[in-house]
Structure 1
């Protein structure tokens, strides 16, 4: 459990936690894998969210997901390039709701560099990144004593 004072401090940064969908590289499941690979390689992304045409979250995809799909299905590069990316989507990354607690976010970010944020209808709202949380923790470590006194119990 996060100490109450720390949680209050960090919650002041929650507006900075969410990177909205409009500010992200996102692909639609019907985009072909050539398009997705080009987007990922030209921007240095390791994994990106995939949505359907109604903006519902399908999962994420990485270059290794695409290469594994190609290998498992014995596809040539040409055939792979014309294939919808939805077929290679992975659901290994956990998701959170917009009301997720700081504790839940912190636990899930241990194993993931970002967490997709979904509403009740699985609409993709954006992501919370490990980086945004670490920036808030950095602020906590540097600014906490401006508002709080730390007193030893002993």
Structure 2
């Protein structure tokens, strides 16, 4: 049979092979100054990054718009506030995440409205991220493989 992909395999597919591991993901800690978070965001080029506590547990997400909103004054951007606030003061605590043992279709559904999902284990320890791009690349490859099989050998 070779490398045949069958339709039911997609329903049984887990996400473990699609996760970008935590050690490759830019992140900040709860008590980092906003200035540090802004530097990480700018240097990484990401729109938002995970916020972790000292035990590597996922706590939220921080983004440039959240940081900028926190330092906007009435008449000017108050850059001096970047050193006065820490990440936990302005981060978003309501974030999309998925357990590393969840299935592919749950991830796909959550990714519709989110560019990436944070992945955690049962103890809520941060394991990495799952990007919409990775999910779509997998679906694309899967569809191409199954369409080749339905046409048969050339």
Same fold (TM over 0.5): yes
Q: What's the CA shift string for 1:22-68, capped at 9, x where partnerless?
A: 11111111111111111111221100000011111111011011122
Deviation at 1:126, TM superposition (A): 0.7
* More displaced stretch, 106-115 vs 37-46: 37-46
Deviation at 1:136, TM superposition (A): 0.4
Aligned to 2:3: none
Q: Does residue 1:125 correspond to 2:131, yes or no?
A: no
Residue ranges of structure 2 left out of the alignment (5+ in a row): 1-5
Aligned to 1:22: 23
What is the rounded CA distance, in whole Å, between the counterparts of 2:97 and 2:77 in structure 1? 31
Q: Is 2:33–2:83's contact at 8 Å kept on the other side of the alignment?
A: yes
Q: Is 2:14–2:103's contact at 8 Å kept on the other side of the alignment?
A: no
Question: Please, what is the CA RMSD of the aligned residues?
Answer: 2.6
Matches within 5 A, 1:93-112: 93-112=95-114
Q: Does residue 1:63 correspond to 2:64, yes or no?
A: yes
Distance 1:90 1:78, change over 3 A: same
Residue ranges of structure 1 left out of the alignment (5+ in a row): none
Q: Does residue 1:44 correspond to 2:41, yes or no?
A: no
